[in-house]
Every structure is written in structure tokens, then in C-alpha cells.
A and B are shown apart, each in its own frame.
Chain A
Amino acid sequence: MSTADTPAIRIRGLSKRFGSKVVLDNLDLDVDRGRSLVVIGASGTGKSVLIKCILGIIEPDAGTIEINGVDVVRGRRRAAAKARAECGMLFQGGALFDSLKVWENVAFRLVQAEGMNRREARELAIQTLARVGLKPETADLMPAELSGGMQKRVGLARAIASEPSIIFFDEPTTGLDPIMADVINQLIRNVTAGQRTALTITHDMQSVRHIADKVAMIYNGKIHWSGPVEAIDDPQDAHVEQFVQGHSEGPIPVQITAD
């Protein structure tokens, strides 16, 4: 089923609409094993919806999604769950469980789903926190006591604690100051180095240059353009150029006045 050259994620004909609003429209995308793909696109173009379809949080209307060669949309539930267990996710706002301590968040899956005992899990959580640059003292704090940047780091630690082979990042740097954003980018680079596959969505070009091997741009519910990260400064495409340069004038319609 899954060989070295099957893509880690393979999406074909993915469509999703909410009511009459078409968000994803027959979208195709491959994420190569061991590589870091960054999907860019304006706010509200369906980037989060795309990731949530892959993770099974949102059910797509049509299309197939394969994780390591396993069809997770129409395949058997058990097989799909097993394929998805290979995935970790850092949510846009961190999505930490606010009734649990930091270490319990990080070790959540180990304790709740894999039955590891709490002492062992706590040790492992502290080690994982160290990997994202957090001191052992953080382990016993509550999420509400942390700054936004620290919450993102804890979210990152939680996502990698069970060593997933595929990891998703939903706008990892949005809402952070430039220095903290750089730290997060660096951490993402570190944890995805090697054989791990990463799919990141963002509209932060700094982030793109830092963590992408390949870039894809989503527009009108489809992958409008994709190419290696080196190509984004000369993409031969007016939409990508407009987005990368951040111009309000160009082929992407932007409403500035209220009419």
C-alpha cells in the first residue's frame, strides 16, 4: 500500500461547501513524504477547512484523501483512525485544554489514549517541553497563565509528544510578535527536520521562506499554483506575485470601500 514514493498525503477532487458558500472546489494536492509543504492564501479561503478535512474534523462533500496510502474518507473507520493516529496538529489558537495543567496537555494522548502511567508521562512531557524551549517549571502551570507565544509552544509540544510522522500547523505565527514568530519558525524547522512530513498553512511570508520546501497557493477553492519555495519571488503568476508582495491591486479582488 504505502511505499517510499506514495505521497504522505494525497488529495483528489476535494470539495466542501457550507450552505451555499463553496469553500473547497475539486481541490487536488500532494504532500511528499518527509517534505515541508506550506499552503498560502488569503484569510477565509478554506485553509483551515482543508486541514480539518484531512484530520476528519470536518466531513468533505466529495473527493478522496489518502494518508500514507489509506483512504480516510471512504475507507474503514478503524483503518482511517489508525492512519490519522500518525498525525499531529498545532491549532491556530493553541487549543490547549484549559482545565488541565501544561504537562497534562502535552502528555494528553500518552495518558488518555495510550495508557501510559502519569509519572512516566510527566517525565516525557517535561522532555518534550524542553524541545520547544520551555523550562520544567512550566509543566505545572495552567494554560491561562501562559502568554500567547508560550501557549503556541505548548501546543507544539503536545502535537509532537507522540512522535507523529505527519504534522500540521495552522497559522503557527499569527498573532505573535516578530521575534516570537521567528522562534516558532525555528522550532518548527527543528521538529520537522529529518523524515517528518509537514503541512503548514499561513499567510506570513517570513514563515514561508523559513519553513517551506514547497509552496502551494489556494485560491477560489483550488490549488491555484504550486512550486518550490525558491520560485515564490518569480512565480510567473500574477495571483501569487500579488499575494507574496502584499499588493492590494492585482487579479485577487479586494474590497476596500463599503459599496
Chain B
Amino acid sequence: MNPVRIIGRGSLAVMETLGRIILFAAISIGRGILPPYYPKQYVRQFLDIGYYSLPVVGLTAIFTGAVLALQSYTGFQRFQAESAIPTIVVLSVTRELGPVLAGLMVAGRVGASMAAELGTMRVTEQIDALSTLTTDPYRYLIMPRLIGGLVMLPLLVVVAMIIGVMGGFLVSVNQLGFQPVSYLNDTFRFLEAIDVVSGLVKAAVFGFIVALMGSYHGFNSGRGAQGVGAATTMAVVTASILILVSNYFITALFFDR
């Protein structure tokens, strides 16, 4: 087949899916902001997305901070710039690695389970059953997940930032011979509000992306076990890609000059 044609078809398909996802988000939000609200569903999502992701995100953060310190030390030693390490660690963690790695971990953990749960509900007609019980599935199932992602990921990322800096601190002090007090002073000396704020904005966007991809692919899951499996894969893959792409654009928005 003509390669131009293949590319054309592919891009049309992507645009179509994108349109569907935007429509899905619009319907969910449009209906979800109106009552009735389902507090229990919100609480469950907050716990699922936020609280139960703490171990995964915490572990990721501490080792990321630690390896950052180690890598920059061996690298920066070559031109006697070891003193930049506290700043490198804190800027990388707040601006970039905290939100991106937390987003990717949550995409794997939460996005996948959302897609699997909603997909199973779709396949076993539980979503259809909701509407026959005069309950709007967008309000009951989707909106709590979207809000959960939007709100909980920034909170997770605050924790990730603190733990990440701590990881760098521990390695620097225990292995690389830094003084604890001066390391901490250096950490905060060049840190600006925008570093943290941009990280939190990213986190909110990534959280929304993860919840939206998990919800969309689960809600529109194909039939049977195979359909649910495919939905789960798609949720994780599309969320991860969108996180990395949007990360670039948010960074550009904040720091481009």
C-alpha cells in the first residue's frame, strides 16, 4: 500500500480517538458537576489514587534522589562542581522527576486498575445496570476518578519531592562527605516558588491524564476478557505517552524565554 496513505489513515484514526476522548471528558465533567454527587465514590478514589500509591511513589522518589546525587557527584567531580549537587537534586526532583516519575508510576498502578475495573463492569453489564437504576454512570463512576486524579497526584508529588530531596541528602551526607546543615542550606538557596509550582501543575495535569485514560479505555472496553486486557494496556500506554508529551509543553510554558 501507498505509504502516504498509511500515514494519512493513521493520523485520521488518532484524530478521531482524540476527539472521542475529549467528548468523553466533556460529557463526564458536564454531567459530573451537577448533583447528585456520590461522596463515597470520591472517598474511595482519593484513597485508591492517593493513599495506596504512597509506597510506590515514595520508593521511586527516594532512589531517584539518591541516584541523582551519586551520578552528579561522579560527573561534576571532573570539573570541581560538586557544590552544585544540592541544587541539581532539588531542581530535578521538583521540576521534573518528581511529577514525571510519580505520574508514570501512577499510570501503571492506578490507570491500569481503573481500566480493568471499568472494563469488567462494562463487559458484565454493570455499567448498563447503573443507568437502569436511574444512576448516571458518568456521575457515579467517571467524575470521582477524574477529580481523584486531579487532586491526589499533586499531593503525592509533594511527598515525592520531599522524599526525593531526602534521598539525595542521605547519599550526599553518608557517602559523599557533605555536611548536613550546609547541604540543606544549599538545597533551599536557589529554589524558587516556580520550581515547585510548575511541578505541582504538572502533577495535576498528569493525574487528570491518568484518570481520563483509565476511565475512557475501561468505559469503552471491547467485549470479553480480551477486550478488558486491551483496554488496560491502552490505558497505561496512552497515559504514559501523553504524560511525556504534555510534560514538554508545560515545561516550555513555564520556563521558555
Contact of A96 among B36, B126, B131 (CB under 8 A): B126
Q: Is the CB of B135 within 8 A of A95?
A: no
Q: Is the CB of B133 within 8 A of A91?
A: no
Q: Give chain B interface residues in 111-144, CB to chain A under 8 Å.
A: 121, 124-126, 128-129, 131-135, 140
Chain B: how many interface residues by the 8 Å CB criterion?
Answer: 14
Q: Is the CB of B135 within 8 A of A112?
A: yes
A34 sits at the interface (CB 8 A)? no
Complex Cα distance A91/B123, Å? 12
Q: Give chain A interface residues in 48-107, CB to chain B under 8 Å.
A: 52, 55-57, 81, 84-85, 87-89, 91-93, 95-98
A169 sits at the interface (CB 8 A)? no
Complex Cα distance A91/B125, Å? 7
Chain B residues closer than 8 Å to A108, beta-carbon distance: 133, 135
Closest CB of chain A to B154's CB: distance in Å? 27
Closest CB of chain A to B123's CB: distance in Å? 9
Chain A residues closer than 8 Å to B124, beta-carbon distance: 93, 95, 98
A158 sits at the interface (CB 8 A)? yes
A209 sits at the interface (CB 8 A)? no
B38's closest neighbor in chain A, by CB? A112
Complex Cα distance A95/B124, Å? 6
Complex Cα distance A85/B133, Å? 8
Contact of A113 among B121, B128, B134 (CB under 8 A): B134
Chain A residues closer than 8 Å to B132, beta-carbon distance: 55, 57, 84, 87-89, 159
Q: Is the CB of B126 within 8 A of A97?
A: yes
Q: Is the CB of B133 within 8 A of A112?
A: yes
Q: Is the CB of A97 within 8 A of B38?
A: no
Q: Is the CB of B133 within 8 A of A113?
A: yes
A109 sits at the interface (CB 8 A)? yes
Known: A112-B38, A112-B140. A91 touches B129 (CB 8 A): yes
Q: Is the CB of B134 within 8 A of A57?
A: no
Closest CB of chain B to A81's CB: distance in Å? 7
Complex Cα distance A96/B38, Å? 19
Complex Cα distance A145/B125, Å? 19
Q: Give chain B interface residues in 19-46, CB to chain A under 8 Å.
A: 36, 38
Chain A residues closer than 8 Å to B133, beta-carbon distance: 108-109, 112-113, 158, 162
Question: Which 8 residue pairs across A and B have the least CB separation, nearest first?
Answer: A95-B125, A95-B129, A109-B133, A89-B132, A113-B134, A91-B125, A57-B128, A95-B126
B residues within 8 Å of A by Cβ?
Answer: 36, 38, 121, 124-126, 128-129, 131-135, 140
A residues within 8 Å of B by Cβ?
Answer: 52, 55-57, 81, 84-85, 87-89, 91-93, 95-98, 108-109, 112-113, 158-159, 162
